[in-house]
Amino acid sequence: MNSTLIVLALTAASISIIHTAAGPDHYLPFIVLSRSRKWTMGRTVLLTIVCGFAHIFSSVLLGLAGVYLGWHLNKISWFQDIRGDLSGWALLLFGVGYLLFGLRHAYLNRPHKHFDVMSDEVYVYEHRHGEAVMPGNRVKVTPLVLFVIFVMGPSEPLVPLLFFSGTNRSMAEVAVLIGVFTACTVLTMLFMVLLGCYGYGFLRTERLERYIHVVSGVAITFCATGMVFLGW
């Protein structure tokens, strides 16, 4: 495994772990539903894994679009001569752009999906950080609703990482990145769900959740900076 692939894999791992652990929506609904409906641990684990793979599936579909674009760019003769430099700079520009987007998103306090527990039920709705009043247009969460939510919530930062590997026409890199992203996401979800089901508390992640796009942008920028300027 070359140094570039190691850096890409570590970036994919850090993004997936932080993205999952910092968002209570990745584990809180499973914990509450498991307790309120008295599910067996096996059923809870199974639903967590299924929803985790649903979340990954939508992310990978977006990422494969990046692979497709990079693959076809590589067929252009002039691009082959500058492929390494251009793809590295493209990753760096995306990282900086995503970091700025994350800062703007956090500053403007955009509405986002939020889960809330009422009695023994879980509800999902849109809200802004700091809002004290829950909107009326809430939806009761069922296993099916939970599955659909995870399918419709991809992790966009995976796209530039797979695009970079696509420009290298390296299916090995693509497979490794998808494998790392998949394993880290599902295992982190399971870890957080099992902690909650067995009664252990969590760190307060609401503040970090607001800046998750910033964290992802920093990770990609750091990765690309090393590739462009340090020869990783």
pLDDT tens string 39-66: 899 999 999 999 999 888 888 888 887 7
Residue 136 lies in a domain: no
**Average pLDDT of the chain to the nearest whole number:** 79
Q: Tell me: pLDDT of 100 over 80.
A: yes
Per the structure, the count of domains in the chain is 1
Please check the confidence at residue 78 and state whether its pLDDT lies above 50.
no
Residue with the larger pLDDT of the pair 61 and 23: 61
Does 206 score more than 50 pLDDT? yes
Indicate whether 127 belongs to any domain.
no
Q: What's phi and psi for 139, nearest 5 deg? A: -120, 130
Residue 137 is assigned to a structural domain of this protein: no
What pLDDT is attached to residue 43? 93
pLDDT in tens, 149-184: 788 777 777 878 887 777 766 788 888 999 999 999
Phi/psi at 38 (5° precision): 55, 45
pLDDT at site 73: 65
Band (pLDDT 50/70/90 cuts) for residue 218 is: very high
Answer yes or no: is 143 within a domain. Answer: no
For residue 135, what is the DSSP state? P
What Å distances lie between residue 103 and 67, 149, 156, 186, 211, CA to CA? Answer: 27, 25, 16, 27, 7
115 assigned to some structural domain: no
User: Could you tell me if residue 215 is inside a domain?
Assistant: yes
In a domain, 85, yes or no: yes
Entry pTM: 0.77
Residue 59's domain comprises 3-108+152-229
Domain membership flag for residue 99:
yes
What does the DSSP 8-state code read for residue 180? Answer: H
